[in-house]
């Protein structure tokens, strides 16, 4: 996700924190300290309220992280590729491949909300236990608030609307009952669009009535509508590409460049021979070794281009998206961690390349042809 930074690993899965997540901690911490906790447990010093509010906000962020970790671990155990997890102000997102069956998708999807509901039960039980043992304290209040927040998170996430977990559940059920995967994704996406509009309208009405909480409903609704619209578009694109092999889209022959040359020489000699912005590199023996982005090369200061080797600023082949000519295109798109371009290899030889433009152009052409035939 753009705007996020690496923050370590959890069970070997890369974790990223979006810039909005710390803002949420500050916002929630201030709201808890200044309003909620003072109303629930009056008469405490301001510094104590501040510490308790910060603790509650951090507990909620940890809860969001555990929610996403449950998705990721379940997916990995069921054989689905997991790329990374990102926590941001409106929740979290786990980048992963698509589960191979509706049963696996259902298991991966339900892992998150069930974790949130379990955390809600634990926090509420701990809060009530603390209250009975120590009477009404800030500790009990923070625990009960954390439990309530996780309960809301778990229940809200089960709404049958993409991109929420409930939308994935709806998609898995529709897919399970015999519809193709893309149709199920479109149904869940349409539900998400409707839900997003309704939430935004409800939030706008609350804002007009003077309720500041309506701002969050508008924000969540707009996010849902945008994400659901993207999912509907992706489902249409994947459906249009269904049945195609990699060889049907790849461009060949491929313009390549030597990985040992300087950036200055590379820009002068190679870029004029291709319209692609990503160019494969080959080693002394002609074997593909790396992929270089021309946009990255142009950002290098001119004085440095004569000394810097192009291979030093290129992506190693091990981190590139790779496929064979006979591979099913949709299966390749599902399994690759890196975005296009896709380098097409046959027995170790570079025989073609597929760019994002190639994929979009082919999908649009096939969608237009299908529309005319209907």
Residues catalogued as catalytic: 68
Alpha-carbon distance of 102 to 291, in angstroms, equals 35
Beta bridge mates, 183: none
**How would you label 304-313 residue by residue, b for 16+ Cβ within 10 Å and e otherwise?**
ebeebebbeb
User: What's the CA gap between 293 and 118, in Å, rounded?
Assistant: 46
Residue 71 is labelled as binding a ligand:
yes
Distance CA 348, CA 206 (A): 61
DSSP labels for 52-67?
A: HHHHHHHHHHHHHHHH
User: Exposed (0-12), middle (13-18) or buried (19+): which is 227, by Cβ within 10 Å?
Assistant: buried
Closest of 270, 341, 263 to residue 301, by C-alpha? 263
Cis peptide before 201 (omega within 30 of 0): no
| Residue 29 DSSP one-character state | H
For 189, the token pair is 């996406």
Q: To which residue do tokens 């597929």 refer?
A: 354
Residue pair 204/218 in contact by the 8 Å Cβ criterion: yes
- Longest CA–CA separation in the chain, Å: 77
**Percent helix, strand and coil across the chain, each rounded to 5?**
60, 15, 25
The single-letter DSSP state of residue 251 is B
Instruction: Report how far residue 60's alpha carbon sits from residue 71's, in angstroms, rounded to the nearest whole number.
Output: 17
Contacts of 54 (CB under 8 A, 6+ apart): 25, 29, 33
Binding site residues for Zn(2+), as ranges?
67, 71, 165
Binding site residues, as ranges?
67, 71, 165
């Amino acid at each position: 996700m753009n705007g996020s930074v690496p923050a370590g690993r959890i069970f070997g899965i890369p974790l990223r924190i979006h810039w909005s997540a710390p803002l949420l901690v500050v916002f929630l911490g201030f709201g808890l300290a200044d309003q909620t906790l003072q109303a629930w447990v009056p008469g405490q010093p301001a510094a104590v309220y501040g510490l308790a509010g910060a603790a509650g906000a951090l507990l909620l962020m940890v809860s969001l992280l555990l929610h996403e970790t449950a998705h990721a671990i379940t997916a990995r155990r069921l054989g689905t590729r997991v790329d990374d997890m990102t926590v941001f102000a409106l929740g979290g997102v786990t980048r992963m491949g698509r589960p191979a069956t509706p049963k696996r998708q259902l298991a991966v999807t339900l892992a998150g909300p069930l974790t949130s509901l379990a955390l809600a039960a634990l926090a509420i039980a701990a809060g009530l236990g603390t209250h009975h043992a120590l009477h009404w304290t800030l500790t009990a209040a923070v625990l009960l608030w954390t439990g309530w927040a996780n309960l809301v998170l778990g229940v809200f996430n089960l709404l049958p609307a993409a991109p929420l977990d409930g939308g994935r559940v709806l998609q898995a059920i529709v897919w399970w009952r015999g519809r193709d995967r893309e149709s199920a994704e479109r149904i869940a996406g349409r539900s998400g669009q409707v839900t997003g509009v309704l939430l935004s309208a409800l939030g706008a009405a609350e804002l007009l009535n003077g309720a500041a909480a309506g701002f969050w409903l508008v924000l969540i609704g707009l996010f849902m509508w945008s994400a659901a619209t993207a999912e509907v578009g992706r489902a249409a694109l994947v459906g249009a590409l269904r049945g195609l092999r990699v060889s049907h889209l790849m461009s060949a022959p491929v313009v390549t460049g030597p990985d040992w040359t300087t950036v200055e020489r590379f820009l002068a000699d190679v870029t004029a021979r291709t319209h692609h912005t990503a160019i494969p590199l080959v080693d002394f023996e002609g074997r593909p070794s790396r992929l270089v982005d021309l946009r990255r090369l142009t950002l290098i200061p001119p004085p440095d281009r004569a000394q810097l080797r192009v291979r030093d600023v290129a992506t190693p082949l091990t981190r590139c998206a790779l496929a064979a000519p006979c591979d099913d295109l949709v299966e390749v798109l599902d399994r690759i961690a890196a975005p296009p371009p896709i380098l097409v290899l046959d027995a170790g030889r570079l025989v073609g390349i597929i760019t994002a433009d190639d994929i979009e152009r082919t999908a649009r052409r096939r969608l237009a042809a299908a529309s005319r035939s209907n």
